[in-house]
Structure 1
Amino acid sequence: MRIGIHGKEFTRDTEDVIQSVFDELKKRRADIVVSSEFNEHLINNNIDSGKVEIYQLREDLSELDYMLTLGGDGTLLEALTHIRDKNVPILGINTGRLGFLATTAKSDFRNAIDALFSRNIDIDERTLLRLESDDHLFGDLNFALNDFTILKKDTSSMIVVHAYIDGEFLNSYWADGIILSTPTGSTGYSISCGGPVVLPHSDNFILTPVSPHNLTIRPIVVPDESELSFTIEGRSNNFLISLDSRFEVVDSSVRLTIKKESFTAKLVKLKDNSYFKTLRQKLNWGLDVRN
């Protein structure tokens, strides 16, 4: 089995777990392919990764059977930009904190690897969104699993985001910005700004304002077959836009269009896990003295 591994800088608290992951894969004689970025951290921390191949960014990873990520949700999102449209399933082993996407606890990694090698898993396909713009922003990484955002940058004054759905004017948002999230991203930035939790396969996008000036403005859920477009104005001529954790600075001349991406993210789902279980664990639902 050919396994890719990506991670970020890690602390001494997680060194033993990372070493154990490599030991487990070597014991199973897996062909291991490590990102060049993560390999530097392995060397700096004296991790014995054994005989591994190194892959560079933009390299074709279509021959991988699975991608493992060692970190949190941000690490998994970064690995998705390495895989792009190659349909490689990702298993996130959570050495970080919250972990809505990297749901496998580091204490349970052996069971997760057992499940991979026995093929006792499900593949959870998640919708991505795609950004189109005149300036070809983000190049060929113009997609996101969680969200697209527009935010103010150089001033404390609010900005105005004019939003359109399928060419029809929706609203002018006087706010600090807006978030357009997928159902997967509904538990990210959107939920912290008052957006709803939307189940992963709901075929929707969620448009959530960030600190709107007009308090009657509320998040809106739209079909993901819709085309949403935006223009921006404000006292500053610089605005921040982001796709997941990647960002660029744009000016008011830009027109931004969001559509559903033509490919999906493939997340490995273990048999004993479920989205509702993740919600209860990560959001502490049901933790009450009455229970």
Structure 2
Amino acid sequence: MASEPRVHVIHENPEWLPPLAAAFEAEGVPFTEILLTEDAVHAGIDLSAEPAPGVYWSRMSASAHTRGNPHSKDYTRALLSWLENSGARVVNGRSVIDLEVSKVDQHLRLGRAGFDVPRTVAVFGRAGLAAAARDFGLPFISKHNQGGKGLGVRRFDSYEEFDAYVGGADFEEPVDGITLLQEFLVAAEPFVTRAEFVGGRFVYAVRVDTSAGSFELCPADACAVPGADGSTPPPLFSLREGFDGDPLIARYEEFLATNDIAIAGIEFIETADGRRVTYDINTNTNYNPDVEASSPVSGPRSIARFLGGLLR
């Protein structure tokens, strides 16, 4: 590593980096990558050494195992423990990755802070799922505790359908063995909202169209799936305005400060019965190009300015 202080970006997916790299370059912020994949990591950590100077930003993803990087999350835990113990400046540090990889942890922290969260049951292993579903009641959705990318998210309207899924070859085994059963929330309109924060402050809100019934809500350009004819599908993500002075945004900012989270996207749904239910925190946030093109404020540029300010 170079001796010049710089932003050190800790991650495992190079496909998500280009918009951020462009933002660092545009803002004149020096940065380097710490790519924590088995192909890239050829040395461990000298626990008695001093880290290279600069600011360390962790953007490890809960879905790393789906890209062939099952150990990246544990590599990150070890690295962040060393960095924080050495006194390095870390953004989205050791406690934040534990939140990123556990929807149970997210649910409990949000509920403790007074947010409306969906009724949820965590089931360990596969054997107890059928009985848990009958105790839970219909309809419900399943999802993985440790995920992202809509991993394991399916809607069920009958126990027989769920039994066939759990007992069949299509069952998606959670990487940590924990499946969540969660109430199915009926939206007032077919969209959810994702509020983006940098430096703990609100940047913009994104309207995510759910009219097609998909639970795959990754906003990154690298996640875009072409239409059946190879064409570009209509945008699922668009800028949502009107959140100036919204008390929910102020409460999110307070929550992020309490939990030492600097950069995140928080998702909520406005239901047909008038609830505003918070259901997900993404501390490895990505930014959609359609939203970026229409917003007067850029998410990646906001990150570059925030981290560059910490360097200075």
Query: Which is richer in helix?
Result: 2
Shorter-chain TM-score: what band? under 0.3
- What TM-score, normalized by structure 2, do the two folds share? 0.26
TM-score normalized with structure 1 length: 0.27
Structure with the higher fraction of residues in strand conformation: 1
